[in-house]
Amino acid sequence: MGHAVRGWRAALAAVSAVVLVGVLAAVSAWVRLGPVARGTVWAEDGGLFLREHLALGPVASLFHPYAGYLHLVPRLVVDLALLFPVADYALVVSATSCLLAGAVCAAVFVLARDVVPSWPLRLVLAVVPVALPTAPWEVSGNAANLHTFALFLAPWVLAHRSRTWWGAGALGVVTVLVLATEAQAVLFLPLLVLAWLPAPVSAPAPAPVPAARGGRLLALPVTVAAVATATAQVVTAFTTPRASAPGHPAASDVVAGWLLQTVGGLWDADLGAVAGAVVDHGWWVLAVPSVLVFVVVLLGCGVALRTGRGRAAVVALALALGAAVVWTAALLANRSADGRWSQVAPAALLTATPSRYAAAAGMLLTAAVVVAAAVLVDRVVTPGGSGRRVAVRASRPGGAAHLVGAAVGWCVVAVLVTTWVVNAPGSAQRSTGPEWQPQFRDAVATCRADPTAVLDIRTQPWGAAVPCTLVLRDG
C-alpha cells in the first residue's frame, strides 16, 4: 500500500510539474505580446483562414490546402474563435495560440526526458519557443504561425519511445496535428528509428510503470500516423500551386542571413542593433559566435557518443542540421525571404527586422545547444542493484574533463537564460494595431440597418471581410 501511495504521489507531482510548465509558458507568451498586439488580428488569421472558414464551412476548410501544404491546427483555432462573439475574435485567437505554445513547451518537457534527464535543464529546453528573443515579433500569439511551434515539437514527438499503449495512442494524435500543420516536419521522420529502440535506463519514468504488452510495437501508432500524415503533406505540396515565387539566393546571402537573422536573433531581438555591430566591426562579430555554437553542439555529441548516450547525440545533431536546412529551404522556396544581406548597403542592413523563418531555425538551433549543454553538464546514470540508480562521472578516473565540460555547459545555459531575461518584454509587429475590438463599436447598428452588409475590418497587415450575419448572431 505504501509503495502504491508513493507511486501515485510521484505521478501527481510529475503531472503537476508538466501543467505548471505549460501554464507559465503560455502566460509568458501572452505577456510578451503586449495588450495591443494581443488585440490585433494577424495576416491569414483575418484573411484566408477566416475567409475560407466562412466560404467552405468549419469542417471542409480544415484540410483545404494553402500555399502548398495543410494547416490543420491554425484552422481549428479559427473554428474555435468563431464560436465566441466576433468582436472578441482577436483576443480568442491570441489566447488560444499562446495556450498551444504553452502546450508545446509542456509536451517537450515530457518527451525530452530520455534525452535530457535533468529537469532544470529540460525546463530550459522546453521554454525555448516562448523565450526566444525574436519570437514575439511575428510567430508568437497568432494562428498563422503555429506551424513554427509544430516544427519545434516534431523531433521530440517522432523520437520519443512510448512506454504505454495509452501514451502511444495520445502521441499518435499529436503526431497527426503536428505533421498536418507543418510540412517541414517531414525532415525529422528519420528520428522514428529512435522510437523503435529501447528507452535508455538512465531516464526511467517518474513513477513505476508496468511493462506494457507489445514491446517495440508501442512505436507503431506514431509511425503510422507520421507516415500517413507526411504522405498527405507531400501529395498536397506536389498538387497545390504556390503563390510565392521561388528564390535563387547566393550562398553568401544564405550564410549572411543565417548569421544575422538566426544566430544574431538568439541573443537580441533588435536586429538593427546587431546589424550595427556588423557594420561597425565586420561579420566576424557574428561568425565567431556561430562557430562557437556549432563547437558546443559537436562537443556535446562527441561526449554523448563516448558515454553511451547515442540518443542525445542523434537528437542534438538532427536539431542543428534541421535548423540549417529549414533556413536554407525558406530562402530557396520564397524569394521574399531573401534579404540579400551580403549585398545590401549598410543603411538597408540597419533596418533589418526578425524573419519568421529565422525564428523557426533559431528555436531548433537553441534546442540543439541546450541538449549538448545538458550532455556536458549531466552525469551518466547507470542502473545499480535492486533497481537503484548510481551516478558516475562522465569520464572516470579523469574527472577534470567532466568538470571542464560541465563548466562549458553551464556557461552556455547561463548565457541563454540571460539573453532571455534581457529580451523579456518583447516587441511585436502588431504592437501598433489596428486593434480588432474597437472597430465593432458601431457594428450592430450598421448591420441592423443593412443585414446583408459586409464590414471591412482592418488587420495587420491586411484586412478582414466580416459579414453582418456574424455580428447579428452575437447580439
**What are the average pLDDT values for consecutive 10-residue runs of the chain, which has 475 residues?**
67 88 97 97 96 96 94 98 97 98 98 96 98 96 98 98 94 98 97 90 45 71 98 95 85 96 95 95 96 96 95 98 97 88 90 95 98 88 43 49 89 96 91 96 95 96 96 85
* Same domain membership, residue 419 and residue 459: no
* Same domain membership, residue 468 and residue 335: no
Angle, CA 23 vertex, CA 179 and CA 261 arms, to 5°: 55
Angle, CA 417 vertex, CA 413 and CA 423 arms, to 5°: 150
Cell numbers 545533431: residue: 317
Looking at 416, 432, 448, the residue that finishes a domain is 432
* DSSP element (H, E) containing 392: strand 389-392
Query: In 3-state terms, what secondary structure has residue 458?
Result: strand
* Structural domain containing residue 446: 438-474
**Cis amide linkage into residue 425, ω under 30° from 0:** no
* Same domain membership, residue 356 and residue 457: no
* Same domain membership, residue 452 and residue 363: no
**Residue 2 pLDDT:** 62
* Same domain membership, residue 453 and residue 378: no
**Residue 378 pLDDT:** 85
* Same domain membership, residue 453 and residue 426: no
DSSP state of 200: P
* Same domain membership, residue 359 and residue 287: yes
**Residue 384 pLDDT:** 44
* Same domain membership, residue 462 and residue 400: no
**Residue 426 pLDDT:** 82
* Same domain membership, residue 362 and residue 225: yes
**Residue 140 pLDDT:** 97
* Same domain membership, residue 167 and residue 106: yes
Overall domain count for the chain: 2
Other Cβ atoms within 10 Å of 464 Cβ, number: 21
**Residue 401 pLDDT:** 79
* Same domain membership, residue 421 and residue 454: no
